[in-house]
Every structure is written in structure tokens, then in C-alpha cells.
Amino acid sequence: MKRDIDWSKLGFHYTEPEYIVRSAYHEGAWEEPYATKDKYLHLHVSATCLQYGQEAFEGLKAFRGVDGKIRIFRWKENAKRMAKSAEGLFMEPVPEEIFGKAIHLALEKNIDLVPPYGTGATLYFRPLLIGTTPRLGVGPGRDFEFIVIPSPIGPYYPGKFHCTTFIVNRHVDRAAPLGTGQFKVGGNYASSFRATEAAHALGYDCLFLDAKHHRYIDECSAANFIGIKGNEYLTPRSSAILPSITNDSLMTLAKERGMKVTRRHIRLEELSEMSEGAACGTACVISPIDKVLDPEKGKTYLFGNEPGPVLSELYHALRDIQFGRAEDTHHWCEIVEN
């Protein structure tokens, strides 16, 4: 169905799709994914997702390229990460085949929702896995539902590529070192809201430190951290952060450009030795940081008001691959005929 959407006005929020895709896991087998217009679930009030937070999700995008073709970016990596999140919460992993079928069906059934090239907008997919077995005794369920919710979203930067300010948080730990931080599960986000909303109320985004020492950089709200120090691309090593697919792609592009790429513990004070800093993730690709405030220590780390040259180049290099303007030498995009 053709929809009258003003793509240039589309913000970074949910637009109701025509169809979602569902597949249930019951008695040891996944059902064939099917499309439905119904956006409501008939869910038992004691389902393990509601009672004990048995829930994991993902986020990925399809891009309409300069050549008019649709490209889905690295969806198999999202499928692998969702399988790890499922294992992390004692859920049945969604097989790659089911994950892929559901994404492709969601795309096919909502093809008119893929924004045109040149608008900067994309079709975002939100795969979701929930435990549906009714239980009151604490424990995992045996039944699950996998859902893919597509939604067109506007460009993260409607105008100019702009910078964000972060504030260091020492009041709320998002995830424990051996907890669920490495998985994309709802509980991590719910537990970070106290910190992120407090930062937003002050007009900033929230920088999480490692939960054990509050000494090393963990993550930027819902994105990985990247710092540039000379010719080095630095990003935190931590058992409590989500392995970002964007960060992985940017690391490959940085290496190709002759940069040294290092993943290690990064002390907060090392920010003063970096020329550029950014948050990275599917939503924004790269969100450059102008400054990081640490009010408790009375320190401010400044990167400057304009995005730096190294991260700008990496941002454009990845966007060019996603929109088909540059050769996809790593085979990151799957081209879908339409």
C-alpha cells in the first residue's frame, strides 16, 4: 500500500508499519515466519518476558542506494548477536534461517516503506525475542516468540553532522562485569534509564564507566565509544558492553586506511590525550563528541565543536558503502531485488 509519507520530515521515531512478522517456538520447533497486520500480542500475564525479563532485541537497517537497489546491512551479524543474547538469558536462539526469512518477509511486505535515496531516511528493523511460557515460580520458559517490527526512520542528522556532549555517570551501573551488558536485552536499558534520563534532563548524554572500578570508559548511552589518538583508533575492551556491529565495521575501515586499531581498557583521563571522540551505533553510525563533562572531578575534556577529520572520513566511508556509492569490498550489504 502506498503511503503518503514526507520522508524529509520523518524523525528518529516509530512509524507504524503495514505488517510485522512473527514466528513462535513451541514444543521444540520454530514455526514458519508469517506476516500480520495485527500489532498486538495475545500474551499470558505470567509470561516469562513480563515476569522475569526474558527478552532480547536487535536493530538493523535497509538502505535504498544511489542505484535504486535496496541493501540490508550485515543482518547475519545481528542474527549471531541475537543468538548470543538468547543464550545469555536462557532462551531458545532464533536460527539464522528463521531470522533471515523474517527480515526479508518484513521488507517484502513493507516495500513501500523503504525511504527513497537522497532523503537520508532508512528502513529500520527491530527483531524481538520474548519468553511466552506462563510461570510464577522463578525460572526460564520453554516457549518463545520472535517478532520483526520494521519502521522507516529519518536521518539521525537531518542537517549537518553535529556533535554531542556527554556527562560522566558514577551513580548507576548499567551492567555488571560478568552480567548481561554484552547482550542486547531489555533489562540493560531499563536499568540505565535512571542515569540516561538524569543526563538528558541536564541536556547531555550519559557516559558509563566500568561498574567495578568506575575508572575505565565502558559505553556511551546506547552506543560504543571510539577515540582517536594520533594514528590510533581506540575503543574499550569490556565484558559489560555490547559488541557493536558498526564499531566492528569502522575498525575494518580504519585498518584499511593504515590506522592502528586497539581495543583495551581506556582510563577516563586518557580522553585528554585524544584528538577526536565519538559514540557509534546503527542509529547514527558515528555521533561525534564535542566535550565530556566530569562535574564530580571538576574536569572537562574538549574535542572541539566540529566533527574531526578522521571520524568524519570513516563516517562517510561507511555511509557510502551502505548507500551503494562505494564498492562493498567486504560484502557487508545484501542486495535485495525489488
Of 25 and 57, nearer to ligand PLP (C-beta) is 57
Exposure of 195 by Cβ count < 10 A (0-12 exposed, 13-18 middle, 19+ buried)? buried
Q: Which stretch binds ligand PLP (CB under 6 A): 195-203, 215-223, 291-299, 306-314?
A: 215-223
Minimum CB separation of residue 164 from ligand PLP in Å reads 15
Stretch that binds ligand PLP, among 29-37, 143-151, 220-228, 310-318 (CB under 6 A): 220-228
**196 is a site residue for ligand PLP (CB under 6 A):** no
Q: Which range of residues in 64-72, 165-173, 243-251, 304-312 is near ligand PLP by CB under 6 A?
A: 243-251
User: Residue 128 in contact with residue 62, Cβ under 8 Å?
Assistant: no
Q: Does 242 bind ligand PLP (CB under 6 A)?
A: yes
Place of cell 526469512: 101
> According to the binding rule CB under 6 A, does residue 219 interact with ligand PLP?
yes
Helices 75-88 + 245-256 axis angle, to 10: 130
Task: Indicate whether 88 belongs to the interface with ligand PLP (CB under 6 A).
Answer: no
Coil, strand or helix: which one is 334? strand
**Does residue number 246 form part of the binding site for ligand PLP (CB under 6 A)?**
yes
Phi, psi of 254 (to 5 degrees): -65, -45
Contacts of 12 (CB under 8 A, 6+ apart): 153, 154, 156, 283
Q: Is 282 an interacting residue with respect to ligand PLP (CB under 6 A)? A: yes
- Write the binding mask 54 to 73 for ligand PLP: x where contact by CB under 6 A, - elsewhere: -----x--------------
Instruction: Name the residue nearer to ligand PLP (CB basis): 242 or 317.
Output: 242
Coarse DSSP helix, strand, coil percentages of the chain, rounded to the nearest 5 percent: 25, 30, 40
- Which one, of 170, 127, 146, lies nearest residue 33 by Cα? 146
15-23, 26-34, 47-55, 240-248 -> range binding ligand PLP (CB under 6 A): 240-248
Cα-trace Rg, the chain = 20
Where on the chain is the footprint of ligand PLP (CB under 6 A)? Answer: 59, 219, 222-224, 242, 244-247, 281-282
